[in-house]
Amino acid sequence: MTRKCRVLQRAALWFRLALLLLSAVGYAAAAGRCSSVAFPSNRLYAACSDLPHHSSSIHWSYDSAAATLSFAFVAPPPQPKGWVAWAINPTADGMLGSQTLIAFHQPGGSMGVRTYNITAYAPITEGPIDFNASNLAAEHSGGVMRLYGKLKLPAGMTVVKQVWQVGSSVADGVPQKHDFQPDNLQSKGTLDLIKGAISSSGGSTTVKKNVHGVLNAVSWGIMLPIGAIIARYLKTFKSADPAWFYLHVTCQIVGYGVGVGGWATGLYLGSKSKGIQYTTHRSIGITLFCLGTLQVFALFLRPSKDHKYRFIWNIYHYLVGYTVIVLGIVNVFKGLAILGVDHKWTMGYVTAVAILGGIALFLEVVTWFVVLKRKADARSSSNGVQHPLSDA
């Protein structure tokens, strides 16, 4: 009884430590980059906002009387000879129609900014943009490029659709095509020049992607591992005998149900994503669904405890079960990479997996301890029975 109490107390302590760790991770991630960017003293901006992709930030002052926007866009180019770009798209959402400013090393070597009215997915050509641009300048130091400019906006345009981008190379004074990774495709959204708020790209697809991510991370990535931990470690305690089984089955069936929901949203997103295929993520997802379904149906075919095939069934059940857990966690990481989520979410999931791993390790040790002790007790008591007079 007292040992159980101590175990519970220790578990509570672990839990609190884990919470502390999680909040620390969250805090570090929330502290933000943009407030720590230093500019020369002649460049002061009233507001700044971290942007969700390319480790970039936007700094600005908006003069509503004159409708002018002074801004600095700061981002690390993927290569030292690359480029960084910031744009306002007055007509659409995304690259086409963007009134773009691009900073890069000019053919002479010094940093400069040029303007582009982007009308096609084709090599870009320099030209005038819809907004009168002045005070254009750029710097490249400490691994980041800073793009400065001042734009005259139409009166009343205080919420703009912004698009930002980075690229690795410039050829003959022409910035070359950027990558087509999720970060590159999602670096767009709105910027409220007055309130300072930004919204991320994509609207409803983004919401669906997040729903897909949360459902799958919770089910395949967290619930199924917890169910496995329950089965493996509660079983040791005789007092938990039928209870562990029902807990395990409940946890796995609920996890599987939520997981199927996540899987279905994944198929939907896959069918919507015409241009880009995430083949590995998709294949693992389909494999997971098949193995998970097999596991649920195999429950109904489970031979009774003393049946001669029960041993084989158990081996099958462990193999498929552990495969599902490993693939599930791998696929959550693949999904997080595809979503291009903020670092803190990936860290949050890493922490969750680490906590589950830590709990499993701890329980593994406890289990071995209990099992060995039980064996030792059994031996000494059987000694006592067999040789009651041996010590006399």
The verdict on 134 binding ligand NAG (CB under 6 A) reads: yes
Q: State which residue, 119 or 314, has the beta carbon closest to ligand NAG.
A: 119
Q: State which residue, 129 or 325, has the beta carbon closest to ligand NAG.
A: 129
- CB neighbour list of residue 292: distance below 8 Å, 6 or more residues apart: 220, 224, 256, 259, 260, 324
The verdict on 92 binding ligand NAG (CB under 6 A) reads: no
**Residues listed for the chain:** 392
Q: State which residue, 99 or 216, has the beta carbon closest to ligand NAG.
A: 99
- CB neighbour list of residue 8: distance below 8 Å, 6 or more residues apart: none
CB of 156 to ligand NAG, least distance (A): 17
Structure tokens at 11: 């578990």
- Describe the crossing of helices 279-298 and 241-272 by its angle, rounded to 10 degrees: 150
Q: Dump strand ranges (E) for the chain.
A: 47-50, 57-63, 68-75, 83-88, 99-105, 111-117, 132-141, 144-152, 159-167, 170-171, 174-175, 188-192, 198-199
Picking from 372, 349, 377, the residue whose alpha carbon sits closest to that of residue 221 is: 349
| Binding-residue total with ligand NAG (CB under 6 A) | 7
Task: Tell me: is residue 248 an annotated ligand-binding position.
Answer: yes
Task: Tell me: is residue 59 an annotated ligand-binding position.
Answer: no
Structure tokens at 145: 């490029």
Region from 123-131, 220-228, 276-284, 369-377 binding ligand NAG, contact rule CB under 6 A: 123-131
Q: Are 58 and 191 in contact (CB under 8 A)?
A: yes
Region from 127-135, 182-190, 223-231, 235-243 binding ligand NAG, contact rule CB under 6 A: 127-135
| The binder of ligand NAG chosen from 55, 61, 106, 117 (CB under 6 A) | 117
Question: CA-to-CA distance for 345 and 342, rounded, in angstroms?
Answer: 6
Region from 13-21, 35-43, 122-130, 377-385 binding ligand NAG, contact rule CB under 6 A: 122-130
Region from 38-46, 126-134, 293-301, 362-370 binding ligand NAG, contact rule CB under 6 A: 126-134
Q: State which residue, 163 or 234, has the beta carbon closest to ligand NAG.
A: 163
The verdict on 173 binding ligand NAG (CB under 6 A) reads: no
Write out the residues near ligand NAG by the rule CB under 6 A. 117, 119, 128-130, 132, 134
